[in-house]
Amino acid sequence: MYAIITISIVAIIVLFLGAIQKKTPLLPIIFVGLPVAFIINLLGWNQSIHYYNEMYIADNFSIAFNAVLIFTTLLVFIFAPVYYKPVKRPLEDIYALILFALIGALTMTGFGNILMLFVGIETMSLSLYILAGSKKFDPNSNEAAMKYFLTGSFASGFLLFGIALIYGACGSMNLETIKEFVVAHHNNIPAMLNIGLLLVAIGMTFKIGAAPFHFWAPDVYEGSPTLITTFMATVGKVAAIAAFFRLMSSSFSDMESSWVVTLTIFAIATILIGNLSAFYQDNVKRMFAYSGIAHAGYMLIAIIALKQQAAGVLLLYSISYTIATITAFAVLILVREETGTFSINAFKGLAKHNPTEAFAMTIAMLSLAGIPPLVGFAAKYNLFIAAIEQGHLPLVIVAIVGSMISVYYYIRPVVAMYFNLPSATSAIDSSSNYKKQIFLAAFLMIVLGLIPGVIINLI
Amino acid sequence: MLSLYVFFFLSAVTLVSAVMVLLSKKPIHSVLYLTLTFFTLAGHYIMLNAQFLAVVHIIVYAGAIMVLFLFTVMLLNLNIEGEFQKSTVMKFVAAIAGGMIFLVLIGTLKSFDVTTVGDPSMTQIGLVKNLGKTLYSQYLMPFELSSILFLSAMVGAVMLGKKDKN
């Protein structure tokens, strides 16, 4: 709650400084403001405070996810000077919009009332629509913004209609009251509530980019500026999945029979479509879009296996996915700066010129593929165990097959980096900021892979 | 009794004009039918004793947004007869998808029983005074957060509209 206020203040200060054409203090203010928000957020640990008539609940779940989201945003901002080096204007609008999107994301993890969920989703989505089109003179960026906006507002329509039906059935939008209603009407759940939940699930599935509502993701991820894609693929996805999990676990866990089958089908379709489509991509950025879809499918498993400590597993999975994706995108930004292309061939011989970057990319790819001892393996392992204990064996088999497919396309850039002859490009000059972040991410991926239990038992 | 007739009249006009938005060939007619839909919806709000919502609905939708639509249609000279090209497969798929969700919604509404929702004409929540009190007490947080939503929309509008290279 106070983290949200802190970030709002930082965003407004950034906007003001931009308005008076100050360029230099923008990023330092963000680099001070976000860690402060991070600490303020953690101060509420174990207190579980309900704010403003249960509109916002700062329990351990929301605090842990908020910490992940704020930290991820901080990492994204570390790349901003590298990515926006050629741009001379202050860029206050882009920074402020990223912060506004973060505020929306923080609202989504801790909502106690479906109204807050909707406001949070809209704040995040609206900022992301604009950010997707922030490269104004690039037709791809315009296309991405337009596609994202049209499909996204359609999904918001579904979500809102679903919320209206749930409100009509339960007479309240408070998560607790809805849960009481569900428990009281356990034997005869009204059809209206079922359909409302289905429509809300459609809206949320769209926001996390899972099949069958994933069609926007590849084009939007490919067309948006790479830094924004990084933000979208990490913060946007984690916030949406956390919100979905919170909704299901705090209100609808007692009417599982009406949504588990649907979500299982969604998850199976997502894992298969994501992995099989990524298989054929030569454009690494597009490949990451499909890999993001596949990972959304894995994260849906956590919602399906709700009862087995799944919150902690989902947190671990989110952390592993976020760190690996950010590292991979960081290297991708560098390679793209140098070679001007996102093609897989651009990675040829990277290991020879830039061993650090190549190593970080390798770690990230192996972690995403789920190879021990990295954190990606620990996350997937615990997720599958939780699902098996709940009796979702077919789903887990599909997920494992999907993981095996994914190894192929995650290894391709690694092979290109280490075993192919270097193309004509010279060494990539990486600025100092950048290396520290890469080391930090690689370190986190290895260490968290060794102690996954700490994270899982956290919430 | 009178209110029942008014309700049926308003509903009929709403449905017919909403269908006409889709069926009319000229964009300008679609826009005008849409305005009519908004006005009849505002009538529904008044019947539910939500006067503030009705007024805001007319001001925002029928006032601001429709004017914007009309301007866009006129300035871009979009007032050309004809429809967008759609393939038969597309039409078929769209009809099936739309028909399915229509059936599902009909099924939902059939099972609807008024147990939890109060009689709207009895509650005074739609009046400006009560609405303001609720908005600033119970719904304070979403209300304040939507200011962030609007601020980000404004920043985005300025950013996209600004003239600069890069």
pLDDT tens digits, one per residue of B59-96: 998 888 888 888 888 887 766 665 566 788 988 998 99
Residue B156 belongs to some domain of the structure: yes
Q: What tens digit of pLDDT does each residue of A74-99 get?
A: 989 988 888 888 888 888 899 999 99
Residues A151 and A211 in one domain: yes
Q: What tens digit of pLDDT does each residue of A11-32 get?
A: 999 999 988 888 888 889 999 9
Which residues on chain A are in Cβ contact (under 8 Å) with B155? 15, 93, 96-97, 100, 130
Instruction: Identify the residue with better confidence: A431 or A181.
Output: A181
- Mean pLDDT within A42-70: 90
Residues B131 and B68 in one domain: no
Residues A265 and A239 in one domain: no
Residues B75 and B144 in one domain: no
User: Looking at chain B, which residue has its C-alpha nearest residue A131?
Assistant: B156
**Number of neighbouring beta carbons within 10 Å of residue B159:** 20
pLDDT at B117: 55
Residues B12 and B64 in one domain: yes
Least confident of A157-166, A298-307, B145-154: A298-307
pLDDT at A115: 93
Q: Indicate yes or no: CB of A113 within 8 angstroms of CB of B151.
A: no
Q: For residues B111 and B48, what is the distance between their CA atoms, to the nearest angstrom?
A: 22
- Mean pLDDT within A371-393: 88
Query: Last residue of some domain: A235, A254, A273?
Result: A254
Answer yes or no: are the C-beta atoms of A291 and A368 closer than 8 Å: yes
Measure CB to CB from residue A119 to each of B116, B145, B158 and give the nearest one.
B145
pLDDT at B82: 56
User: Which 95-114 residues of chain B touch chain A by CB within 8 A?
Assistant: 104-105, 107-113
Query: Last residue of some domain: B25, B59, B80?
Result: B80
Query: Between the CA of residue A252 and those of A175, A212, A290, B103, what are the distances in Å?
Result: 9, 22, 29, 24
| For testing contact with chain B, the best of A99, A102, A115 (most B CBs within 10 A) | A115
What residues pair up with A15 in beta bridges, in sequence order?
none
Amino acid at A342: F
- Mean pLDDT within A285-312: 88
User: Which 13-42 residues of chain A touch chain B by CB within 8 A?
Assistant: 15
Residues of the domain holding A425:
259-459
Sign, CA dihedral B108-B112-B116-B118, equals positive
ipTM of the modeled complex: 0.88
Measure CB to CB from residue A119 to each of B117, B138, B149 and give the nearest one.
B149
Residues B130 and B75 in one domain: no
Residues A29 and A171 in one domain: yes
Residue B105 belongs to some domain of the structure: no
**3-state DSSP assignment of residue A374:** coil
| Percent over 70 (pLDDT), chain A | 97
- Give me the half-sphere count of Cα atoms (radius 13 Å) on the Cβ side of residue A453: 0
Per-residue pLDDT at A239 exceeds 60: yes
Per-residue pLDDT at A396 exceeds 90: yes
pLDDT at B2: 82
Query: Last residue of some domain: B18, B53, B80?
Result: B80
Q: For residues A383 and A394, what is the distance between their CA atoms, to the nearest angstrom?
A: 14
Q: Indicate yes or no: CB of A192 within 8 angstroms of CB of B111.
A: yes
- What total of structural domains would you count in chain B? 2
Least confident of A163-167, A186-190, A375-379: A186-190
Q: Indicate yes or no: CB of B138 within 8 angstroms of CB of A8.
A: no
- Mean pLDDT within A100-110: 94
Per-residue pLDDT at A34 exceeds 80: yes
CB contact set of B114 (below 8 Å; sequence gap of 6+):
none
CA torsion A248-A125-A210-A196 (nearest 10°) is 40
Which residues on chain A are in Cβ contact (under 8 Å) with B160? 130, 133, 136
pLDDT-derived band at A37 (thresholds 50, 70, 90) equals very high
Measure CB to CB from residue A195 to each of B104, B139, B146 and give the nearest one.
B104
Q: Which two tokens stand for residue A244?
A: 């979905």
Residues of the domain holding B76:
1-80
Residues A142 and A99 in one domain: yes
Measure CB to CB from residue A115 to each of B142, B155, B158 and give the nearest one.
B142
User: Which 153-172 residues of chain A touch chain B by CB within 8 A?
Assistant: 165, 168-171
Round the CA-based radius of gyration of chain A to a whole number and report it.
21
- What total of structural domains would you count in chain A? 2
pLDDT at A436: 73
Q: Any chain B CB within 8 A of the CB of A437?
A: no
Q: What CATH number does the domain containing B33 carry?
A: 1.20.120.1200
| For testing contact with chain B, the best of A136, A165, A215 (most B CBs within 10 A) | A136
- Chain centroid to Cα A380, Å, comes to 16
**Number of neighbouring beta carbons within 10 Å of residue B97:** 10
Which residues on chain A are in Cβ contact (under 8 Å) with B152? 96-97, 100-101, 123, 126-127, 130
Per-residue pLDDT at A435 exceeds 90: no
Residue B110 belongs to some domain of the structure: no
Q: Indicate yes or no: CB of A126 within 8 angstroms of CB of B149.
A: yes
Least confident of A72-81, A147-156, A184-193: A184-193
Nearest Cα of chain A lies from the Cα of B115 at a distance, in angstroms, of: 9
Look up the pTM and report it: 0.93
Per-residue pLDDT at B139 exceeds 60: yes
Mean pLDDT of chain A: 88
Residues A428 and A286 in one domain: yes
CB contact set of A360 (below 8 Å; sequence gap of 6+):
A327, A330, A331, A438, A439, A441, A442
Which residues on chain A are in Cβ contact (under 8 Å) with B113? 190
Answer yes or no: are the C-beta atoms of A285 and A209 closer than 8 Å: no
Query: Last residue of some domain: A239, A254, A269?
Result: A254
Per-residue pLDDT at A424 exceeds 60: no
pLDDT at A423: 59
Per-residue pLDDT at A448 exceeds 90: no
Q: What tens digit of pLDDT does each residue of A318-343 get?
A: 999 999 999 899 888 888 887 888 88
Which residues on chain A are in Cβ contact (under 8 Å) with B120? none
Residues A159 and A202 in one domain: yes
User: Which 392-431 residues of chain A touch chain B by CB within 8 A?
Assistant: none
Residues A207 and A314 in one domain: no
Residues A250 and A263 in one domain: no
pLDDT at A221: 93
**Per-residue DSSP letter, A222:** H
Contacts 24+ apart (CB under 8 A), A351-357: A351/A417, A351/A418, A352/A422, A353/A422, A353/A425, A353/A426, A353/A427, A353/A428, A354/A427, A354/A428, A354/A430, A356/A430, A356/A435, A356/A438, A356/A439, A357/A331, A357/A428, A357/A430, A357/A438
Residues B4 and B62 in one domain: yes
- Mean pLDDT within A28-37: 93
User: Looking at chain A, which residue has its C-alpha nearest residue B118?
Assistant: A171
Residue B88 belongs to some domain of the structure: no
Mean pLDDT of chain B: 84
pLDDT at B79: 61
Instruction: Identify the residue with better confidence: A69 or A305.
Output: A69
